[in-house]
Structure 1
Amino acid sequence: MNRQIKVLGKVQGVFFRKSTQKKAVELGLTGWVKNEEDGSVLVEIEGDLHSILAMQSWLRLGPPNAEVKELEISNADEKGYEDFLILQ
C-alpha cells in the first residue's frame, strides 16, 4: 500500500523531516520525505495499512515545534522502496 501525504502548516525548520524518518523506520515503513517550495512537507510511505494509519495520525501532530494545519492524503502506486529517505 502506498500513500502520498502533503503536510501543511509550520512544518519546515522544526526537524520535521528527520522526525518523520525516525517514526517511519519505527513503524517499518519505507518511502521518503522532502520539503516543498510552498513551505509544506511531502511524504510518500509504503507499508501495511495499520502502519500507514499510525503514521498519518503521527503526521497530524508532527514533532514538538511543528504546527500542522492540514494533511492532503492520496493513494499512489507502490514503488517498492527499500528504505525511508530524506530527500533534498
Structure 2
Amino acid sequence: AAPWKPQVFDAHQNETVVVLTELIIPATDTPGAKAALVNRYLDLLLADGPAPQRESFLAGLAWLDGYALRQHAKPFVRCTAV
C-alpha cells in the first residue's frame, strides 16, 4: 500500500495535530492519539465534512501556531512543557 498522505493538512498542520492530540490523549498503559492515528481520522473527517468546519479547524491550528510564535518565538510543535 502507498504511504498515507493527508487530504486536508499540509505537513506542518499534520505534525501540529499529532502533537496536540497526543497532549489531549497521551499514551499511558493504552495507546495514545498518535498510535491511534487520530490525525488521519481528523483529516478524513475534515476532507469529507462541510467547508466551514474545515476552515474553522485550520484557522484554529493557525491561531495556535501564531500564539506559540508570539509567546515563545517558535511554532507550537517546537514548544516543550514547562
| Pair in the same fold by TM > 0.5 | no
The structure where helix makes up a greater share of residues is 2
Q: Radius of gyration: which is bigger? A: 2
Q: TM-score, normalised by structure 1?
A: 0.32
Q: TM-score, normalised by structure 2?
A: 0.34
The structure where strand makes up a greater share of residues is 1
